[in-house]
Amino acid sequence: MVAKTIEWLDGKLRILDQSKLPREQVFADLDNYHDVVLAIKEMKVRGAPAIGVAAAYGIALGAGGIKTAKKDDFLAQLNQVMQAFAASRPTAVNLFQAINRMKKAAKGDGVAEIRKSLINEAKRIHQEEIASTEKLSRLGAELIKDGFTVLTHCNAGPLATAGYGTALGVIRAAKEQGKKLSVFATETRPLLQGARLTTWELMQENIPVTLITDSMAGYFMKQGEIDCVIVGADRIAASGHTANKIGTYSLAVLANAHGIPFYVAAPTTTIDLSLTSGYQIPIEERSPEEVTHIQGVPIAPAGVRAANPAFDVTPPSYVTAIITEKGIIRPPYTEGLKNVGSRFL
Ligand code: MRU
């Protein structure tokens, strides 16, 4: 089992710095909310469910750092802490679900009681993500047949969820059921979550993995080497459109062209019923430097223009099924998602 991604330890938040993996396994103990916001922005903590869990603990940390004993002043300052988290990354809806729950949990007779209630709520959010990712993984494993080769994109394992994993969770659960499988992991440019994190997690689980560049996926599909594609999600609209790491849409189109099933695995905290179409999902634009450089080393001429949308949206027509902890949903998605998702924003 891989190292703990996020841990609440003696009133501090311990995170495994994912930006340094796999070269170094470095933990950071964060004792103030500013550092947690920064860790999310700089993707030291990343992956939709893990961002939500980190933000919940970060809000509890922020509450601990507010100096006033007056409840009204305290709540006003707590609101600013929550706004800082809301501005950290825009696409993963788990972040906004977590903030919303923390807002509701900010109740009690006095400041001390509210602080306690916030720590307890953050722990509950974390426990629920652990339980739901494990449950969806076990349900999804039934889609993976013995001998399958599965292609996955980005990283949707324990690191990304602070739990069991979503896409990688399904693969792990299938292996635990005794099925023989192998995985193709796309490197996932620009930040290489597939090359750095997915391969690292799978190798620790002794699951055979082949690393490929993003542009090789079509070749291997055409060769008949891929039995299915499984990816995670950062936000799923009521229509069944799913936002996930940039490059997911291209894989879905390719899978469709080759008649390969394309599955999305996500806890119901990733479903956002307030959006009727996936094209309303805010897509994060990150620094062009992430494209012109690899781990700080320039790979393009200085001054070249570069674009860097961090996510794309896959239409429901390309998705074979959505795997959640409340069941496997098949098209048409509108009805099935309505039964398991929430409308909280
Ligand atoms: O930018 P990232 O690394 O946070 O993006 C992560 C992804 O796109 C994952 O596939 C998604 O969050 C699912 S995590 C279980």
The gap from C-alpha 325 to its chain's centroid, in whole angstroms, comes to: 15
DSSP structure class, residue 23: T
CA of 304 to the centre of ligand 1 (A): 27
Is residue 313 lining ligand 1, measured as CB closer than 6 Å?
A: no
- The residues, any chain, with a CB within 8 Å of residue 185's CB and separated by 6 or more, are 151, 152, 153, 194, 195, 198, 199, 202, 209, 210, 211, 212
Ligand 1 centroid, distance to 121 Cα (angstroms): 23
Query: What is the CA(66)–ligand 1 centre distance, in A?
Result: 31
Confidence class of residue 59 from pLDDT cuts 50, 70 and 90?
Answer: very high
166 lines ligand 1 (CB under 6 A): yes
Pocket of ligand 1 contains residue 251 by CB under 6 Å: no
Q: Report, as an integer, the average pLDDT of 194-223.
A: 98
* Whether the CB of 136 sits within 6 Å of ligand 1: no
How does residue 187 score in pLDDT terms, banded at 50, 70 and 90? very high
* Dist. CA 79 → ligand 1 center (Å): 26
Structure confidence by residue, pLDDT tens digits, 138-161: 999 999 999 999 999 999 999 999
Q: Give the chain's mean pLDDT.
A: 96
What is the model's pLDDT at position 70?
96
Answer yes or no: is the C-beta of 310 below 6 A from any ligand 1 atom: yes
Q: What is the pLDDT of residue 245?
A: 98
pLDDT at 341: 78
Ramachandran sector of residue 222 (left: φ over 0; alpha: ψ -120 to 50; beta: rest) = alpha
- For ligand 1, atom 15, the nearest C-alpha belongs to 156
pLDDT, tens only, 234-260: 999 999 999 999 999 999 999 999 999
Q: Is the bond leading into 22 cis (omega within 30 degrees of zero)?
A: yes
Considering only CA atoms, which of 41, 49, 94, 103 is closest in space to residue 76?
Answer: 103
Q: Give me the catalytic one of 35, 146, 227, 234.
A: 234
pLDDT score of 2: 57
Mean pLDDT of 211-232: 98
* Percent of the chain scoring above 90 in pLDDT: 97
CA 111 to ligand 1 center in whole angstroms: 35
Q: Whose CA is nearest to atom 13 of ligand 1?
A: 232
Q: Are 44 and 24 in contact (CB under 8 A)?
A: no
Q: Which pLDDT value is given to residue 342?
A: 73
| pLDDT single digits (tens) 31-55 | 999 999 999 999 999 999 999 999 9
* Substitution candidate for ligand 1 out of 18, 193, 268 with most atoms within 8 A of CB: 193
Q: In the prediction, which pLDDT does 127 show?
A: 97
Does 4 have pLDDT greater than 90? no
DSSP 8-state assignment for residue 196: I
CB 188 near ligand 1, within 6 Å: no
Task: For residue range 72-97, list pLDDT tens digits in order.
Answer: 999 999 999 999 999 999 999 999 99
Across 171-200, average pLDDT? 98
CA–CA distance, 323 with 38 (Å, rounded to integer): 31
Atom 2 in ligand 1: residue holding the nearest Cα:
47
Q: Ligand 1 pocket, 21 CB below 6 A?
A: no
Ligand 1 centroid to Cα of residue 124, in Å, is 22
Going by alpha carbons, the residue nearest to atom 10 of ligand 1 is 232
Verify whether residue 272 is a known catalytic residue. no
| Amino acid at site 268 | T
pLDDT tens-digit series, residues 91-134 = 999 999 999 999 999 999 999 999 999 999 999 999 999 999 99
Q: What span, in angstroms and rounded, lies between the C-alpha atoms of 181 and 172?
A: 10
Q: Whose CA is nearest to atom 8 of ligand 1?
A: 245
Say if strands 321-324 and 327-329 run parallel, antiparallel, or are unpaired.
antiparallel
Q: Is the pLDDT of residue 345 over 80?
A: no
